[in-house]
């Protein structure tokens, strides 16, 4: 039976600022987090990862993501509002937080937010034991997904604030193709500098995400392999999903895992690596000499919904239980209407029970989701 959780312990500089909302340390409010155990959906999947969009704004207009004409469409909240919602999730067992957007590095207060997140501790130990007065929780795993444009100047401050890892989206390894995708001149040099700064700051292993589009950047698979080996970063190819703003997705444009592996093998024989965790989305490969690492994330050709451990919070404070959900759930609304911490946790539990079994990409019953990737937070 679950014992009472008395607090989500905080430590370090951030504790003072968070105190009013993080330290209802004892009694029924705090203990409510563990009533019902760790957050699970009705299929028994433990929800341990939260992705938060902290702004709907983006400084790139990537052709496969945005129309190029639309700007931000949804509000952004105060940093302390996101933090209170994060606290509710952490009290239920979330241990990984990924900040995304829009473009999260555009958001003022990001470094301070990371500092606050770094002061939180998990509510459960890795073996599932609830944290009590006698045992401390662990630091959260805090990551950022960014286009890297502003990363050169922010990598070290983010590392110093307590960021664990960074993933940089980079869809080409030559400046011309890169500019054609981002529609921002001289963007490649900025992102490359950002990747190198992240490595130098100790935010490794840096992951570089590339969405492959047939006829656009798929000629670069081998160059990306070279890039991984040369720069010492993990390159991850991601299949394009029907989440683009202008709804131009076609299955013919998706470059599948099978094709990518065949092309990599033509470059140099690949060797499959074991997964780091059962919920890992990427299949991992290295080459026959052990230099370089390539991950392939194949939500279209090889869905991994059965292992999904994620929920998302949009910049305007709505929970999304799947990228392909048709509805949002207004956690921020619950909060501004005066919801107590207990009530927020109960609301989250109820929402998570509605998490979809899987997506239906490529099936006749597939319905376009109610938001596109840039307005959800990838």
Binding site for ligand SAM (CB under 6 A): 58, 64-65, 100-101, 103, 145-147, 169, 209, 211, 238, 240-241, 243-244, 373-374, 378
Residue 240: CB minimum distance to ligand SAM, A: 5
3-state secondary structure the chain: CCCCCCCCCCCCCCHHHHHHHHCCCCCHHHHHHHCCCCCECCCCCECCEEEEECCCCCCCCCCCCCCCCCCCCCCCCCHHHHHHHHHHHHHCCCCEEEEECCCHHHCCCHHHHHHHHHCCECCECCCCCECCCCCCCCECEEEEEECCCCHHHHHHHHHHHCCCEEEEECCCCCHHHHHHHHCCCCHHHHHHHHHHHHHHHCCCCCEEEEEEECCCCHHHHHHHHHHHHHHCCEEEEEECCCCCCCCCCCHHHECCHHHHHHHHHHHCCEEEECCCCCCCCEEEEEECCCCCEEEEECCCCCCCHHHCCEEEECCCCEEECCCCCCCCEEHHHHHHCCCCHHHHHHHHHHHHCCCCCCCCCCCCCCCCCCCCHHHCCC
CB of 375 to ligand SAM, least distance (A): 9
CB of 237 to ligand SAM, least distance (A): 10
The CB-of-151 to ligand SAM minimum distance in angstroms stands at 10
> Minimal CA–CA distance to 148: which of 169, 163, 162, 164?
169
| Contact indicator for 287, 269 with CB cutoff of 8 Å | yes
Question: Based on CB atoms, which residue is closest to ligand SAM, 244 or 293?
Answer: 244
Q: Which residue is nearest to ligand SAM (CB)?
A: 378
Q: Closest distance between ligand SAM and the C-beta of residue 165, in Å?
A: 13
Tokens of 361: 């990409």
Q: Residues 283, 165, 23, 18: is their CA dihedral positive or negative?
A: negative
- If the CB atoms of residues 8 and 155 are measured against ligand SAM, the closer one turns out to be 155
Residue 91 vs 104, nearer CB to ligand SAM: 104
For the CB of residue 306, give the shortest distance to ligand SAM in the complex, in Å: 19
* Min dist. Cβ of residue 84 to ligand SAM (A): 23
The minimum distance between CB 329 and ligand SAM, in angstroms, equals 20
Nearer to ligand SAM, 48 or 55 (CB): 55
Shortest CB 197 distance to ligand SAM, Å: 16
Q: Which residues contact 370 (CB under 8 A, 6 or more apart)?
A: 325, 326, 327, 328
CA distance 93 to 103: 27
Compare residues 231 and 246 and give the one whose CB is closer to ligand SAM. 246
Smallest distance from the beta carbon of 19 to ligand SAM, in angstroms?
31
Comparison of 24 and 299: residue with beta carbon closer to ligand SAM: 299
Measured in whole angstroms, the distance separating CA 220 from the mean position of its chain's CA atoms is 25
Query: Which of 65, 206 has the CB closer to ligand SAM?
Result: 65
Q: What is the rounded distance in angstroms from the CA atom of residue 8 to the CA atom of residue 31?
A: 10
């Amino acid at each position: 039976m679950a014992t009472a959780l008395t607090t989500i312990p905080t430590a370090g500089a951030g504790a003072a600022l968070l105190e009013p909302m993080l330290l209802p340390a004892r009694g029924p409010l705090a203990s409510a987090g563990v009533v019902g155990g760790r957050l699970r959906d009705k299929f028994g999947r433990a929800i341990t990862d939260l992705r938060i969009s902290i702004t709907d704004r983006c400084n790139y207009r990537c052709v496969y993501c945005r129309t190029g004409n639309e700007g931000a469409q949804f509000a952004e909240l105060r940093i302390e509002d996101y933090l209170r919602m994060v606290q509710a999730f952490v009290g239920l067992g979330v241990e990984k937080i990924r900040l995304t957007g829009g473009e999260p590095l555009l958001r003022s207060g990001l470094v301070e937010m990371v500092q606050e997140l770094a002061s939180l501790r998990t509510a459960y130990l890795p073996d599932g034991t609830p944290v009590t007065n006698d045992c401390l929780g662990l630091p959260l795993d805090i990551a950022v997904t960014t286009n890297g444009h502003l990363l050169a100047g922010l990598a070290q401050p983010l590392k110093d604030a307590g960021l664990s890892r960074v993933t940089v989206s980079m869809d080409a390894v030559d400046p011309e193709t890169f500019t054609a995708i981002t529609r921002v001149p001289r963007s490649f040099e900025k992102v490359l500098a950002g990747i190198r700064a992240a490595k130098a700051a100790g935010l490794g292993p840096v992951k570089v995400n590339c969405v492959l589009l047939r006829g656009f950047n798929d000629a670069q698979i081998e160059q990306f392999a070279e890039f991984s080996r040369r720069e010492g970063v993990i390159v991850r190819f991601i299949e394009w999903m029907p989440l683009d703003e202008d709804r131009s997705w076609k299955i013919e444009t998706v470059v599948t895992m099978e094709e990518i592996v065949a092309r990599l093998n033509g470059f140099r024989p690949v060797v499959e690596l074991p997964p780091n965790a059962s919920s890992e989305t990427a299949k991992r490969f290295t080459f026959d000499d052990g230099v370089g690492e390539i991950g392939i994330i194949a939500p279209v050709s090889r869905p991994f919904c059965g292992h999904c451990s994620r929920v998302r919070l949009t910049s305007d404070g709505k929970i999304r239980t799947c990228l392909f959900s048709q509805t949002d759930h207004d956690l921020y609304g619950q909060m501004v209407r005066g919801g107590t911490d207990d009530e927020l946790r109960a609301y989250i539990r109820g929402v998570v029970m509605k998490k979809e079994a899987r997506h239906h990409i490529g099936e006749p019953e597939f319905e376009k989701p109610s938001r596109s990737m840039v307005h959800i937070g990838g």
